[in-house]
Structure 1
Amino acid sequence: MTSLRLLQHRAPDGKRSVILAEDSAAHFLRDVRTVRELALQAIATGETLAATARACPTGDPVDIAAEFAAGRLLAPIDHDDPAHLLMTGTGLTHLGSAEGRDKMHKAAASGEHQTDSMRMFLEGLEGGKPAAGQVGQQPEWFYKGDGSQLVGPTDPFTMPSFAQDGGEEPEVAGIYIVGEDGTPWRLGFALANEFSDHVTERHNYLWLAHSKLRQAALGPELLIGTPPESIEGTSRILRDGKAIWEKPFLSGEANMSHTIANLEHHHFKYDLFRRPGDVHVHFFGTATLSFSDGVKTQEGDVFEISAAPFALPVANPLTRAEERAVTVKVL
């Protein structure tokens, strides 16, 4: 199966370009500055994103692994106005995801003591994959922030000064743009790290919203076309160059309790998420966390996530912001 991907590149002089990669070959697209511009062109002409990219004049070939190592690859989607890029996500969507969540909350998972997490997971397992044309069970949903919180594939994660933890969440994210008539268009999928504060979440599940207001990273490639049913990858944490934790993770519909279409429906059913021109990055969840295995991260650790058919990983070091007083003034 051919793997067609789009990447965003920034040269040392600041010039931006788009790269089209197909299997192991890649080349620049001439006169295309961003993936968002290319997507809007595809919508306007009624062509697929793949056909629109392939129709662009071909530029020089490029070694995407070398450009990744040099730090010249950006997140595969962004917006000139970060306020018009929204990052959201759904949890308890993967087979096995309830186990890690329940371990996190140290709660029983049966009878009258069943946790809300387990109840939601079981409801998704039963109704998250409805028949064609029907609406399935709605999932857990959360907000992560706007485009100012999206970092590149090798950029540092900066957790707030007040954060109790900084932990990885290896995922696949759906990338969308809203057309002029309010129609959401899926551009494709990206490898992602939906970085979260699991200590804060564990304290009280109602603090989940606080724990998710953190940065997130996308791998450099936007996979376009039909995604594989099963995506198998590896998540690991490097400390001083050595892996202190490593574990496989699974994604794709074959490993999920919801269909992608069901998750998309329950996000875009809200009018405020169908604002023309907006970009949406929606994280689909995971069942694999180092936190569930008792790992305590520290500044300087590098979260590295890789998975085929993506050729490149997402690898972000952990840092902490300096404490800064916040004062609310009265006018």
Structure 2
Amino acid sequence: MRLMQIRTEEGGRAVVATVGSAKDQRSYIVPGYTTIYDLARAAIAAKSGIVSLVEAAGEGAAVDRAALLASGRVLGPIDHPDPAHLLITGTGLTHLGSASARDAMHKTAAVAEETLTDSMKMFRMGIEGGKPAAGKVGVQPEWFFKGDGALLVGPGEPLTAPSFAQDGGEEPEVAGIYIISDDGLPFRIGFALANEFSDHVMERVNYLYLAHSKLRECSVGPELLVGPLPDDVRGRSRILRNNQVIFDEPFLSGEANMSHTLENLEHHHFKYDFFRRPGQIHVHTYGTATLSVAFGIKTEPGDVFEIESEVFGLPLRNALAFAPEETVTVTAL
């Protein structure tokens, strides 16, 4: 089952469910719910899975998902009544990449420890300890903070880099969407496509600039997959300039293509009690191995990022924009 949030023709909100196989799927309004946040809280209160709750609600009016997306009425698949209580975070160096990249990694792993970069050391730690035996805790991944719900933009909306940014680059990823119950327990609502928008030029100046490079908007959706994530997720990441494709490469995700299990990534995020405050929403991106900047692409304002995978239904599209320059001064009180 996949879920979407939409604006209705009357200006309200609704939740849309899509069920069935690719050849025989149907999409309809879920009666009784206007947000996925409310649906998730209701599922926790009922001690029920979301699928069971949606099925119990019955089927409302049928909808055309593609037409809704084209009309601009599709919202992001998660939000919070108070954006400050939605946290956007992520992990890096978690994906194996292509066969050639893996081969290069294996060769490098034989090099003396002191010659490895910090990034390669972290990557190798994940290879060796990111998938622990059942009941064990694996090595912690690289982790970063992006922002709160104010930086989460919906499908079709521009991803706006600050005026001082040196780059506006896409990162095609899968994000886990989580909610914290009233008694402080994390629940996974589902998974969505994500564009974990970053400044790769700034990051490459020095790895200690990673934190700066990640403080950017990001986008998720349009649809949220409820249930397990397939082990092998395959999709494509594209950039269009003046309606012409200038970049088109496959991206891989899912545990078969990762050096960490999802369970391990989740453990090392939610082990902090600060991330288990009642009512919080978490959008946690899992990383990627496909970046256009690695292919020599320099993005420009107006470029359109397109990320798609059959697993997630509709594609995620966002145009690149840059904010106007502004001067910020601090006033002493």
Which TM-score applies when normalising by structure 1? 0.95
Instruction: Give the C-alpha shift of residue 57 in structure 1.
Output: 3.4
Task: Among all aligned residue pairs of Structure 1 and Structure 2, give the percentage whose two residues are the same amino acid.
Answer: 60
User: C-alpha deviations, 1:32-74, integer Å up to 9, x for none?
Assistant: 1100000000000100011111111321000001101111111
Going from structure 1 to structure 2, the CA distance change for 1:69 and 1:92 (only over 3 Å counts) comes to same
Q: Deviations over 1:244-299 (max 9, x none)?
A: 01100000011000000000000000010000000000000000000011110000
- TM-superposition CA deviations, 1:74-106 (whole Å, max 9, x none): 110000100000000000000038998xx9xxx
Query: Could you list the per-position Cα deviations for residues 114-155 of structure 1 after superposition, in whole angstroms to 9, with x for gaps in the alignment?
Result: 110000000000000001111000000000000000000110
Contact persistence 2:97–2:252 (CA under 8 A)? no
Residue deviations 1:163-196 (CA, integer Å, cap 9, x gap)? 0000000000000000011000001100110000
How many angstroms apart in 1 are the aligned matches of 2:276 and 2:51? 23
Give the equivalent residue in structure 2 for 1:221.
Answer: 223
Q: Is the 8 A contact 2:87 2:147 kept in 1?
A: yes
Provide closer, same or farther for how the CA distance between residues 205 and 56 of structure 1 changes in structure 2, counting only shifts above 3 A: same
Equivalent residue for 2:171?
Answer: 169
CA distance in 2, matches of 1:193, 1:97: 20
* 1:18 is the counterpart of 2:12: no
Number of residue pairs aligned between Structure 1 and Structure 2: 323
Could you tell me how far 1:324 is from its partner in structure 2? 1.0
Match of 1:66 in 2: 67
CA distance in 2: counterparts of 1:249 and 1:97, whole angstroms: 9
Structure 2 CA distance for aligned equivalents of residues 188 and 197 of structure 1: 27
Residue 5 of structure 2 is matched in structure 1 by 8
**Shift in Å, 1:113:** 2.0
Other-structure match for 1:326: 328
CA shift at 1:13, angstroms? 3.7
Gaps of 5+ in 2: none
Write the deviation string for residues 180-214 of structure 1: whole angstroms up to 9, x where unpaired. Answer: 11000001100110000000000010000000000
After alignment, is 266-275 or 55-64 more displaced?
55-64
Please say if residues 236 and 245 of structure 1, whose CA atoms lie closer than 8 Å, have aligned partners that are also in contact: yes
Gaps of 5+ in 1: none
Asked whether the equivalents of residues 97 and 286 of structure 1 are also in contact (C-alpha less than 8 Å), the reply is no
Aligned to 2:89: 88
Deviation at 1:220, TM superposition (A): 1.1
Q: Distance in 1 between matches of 2:283 and 2:325?
A: 29
Calculate the TM-score normalised by the size of structure 2: 0.94
Structure 1 residue aligned with 2:248: 246
Could you say what the CA RMSD is over the residues aligned between the two structures, in angstroms? 1.8
Question: SS of the residue aligned with 1:90?
Answer: strand
Alpha-carbon distance in structure 2 between the residues aligned to 1:174 and 1:155? 21
Is this contact kept in 2: 1:151–1:218, CA < 8 A? yes
Q: Which moved more, 1:267-276 or 1:46-55?
A: 46-55
Aligned to 1:261: 263
Distance 1:237 1:86 in 2: 27
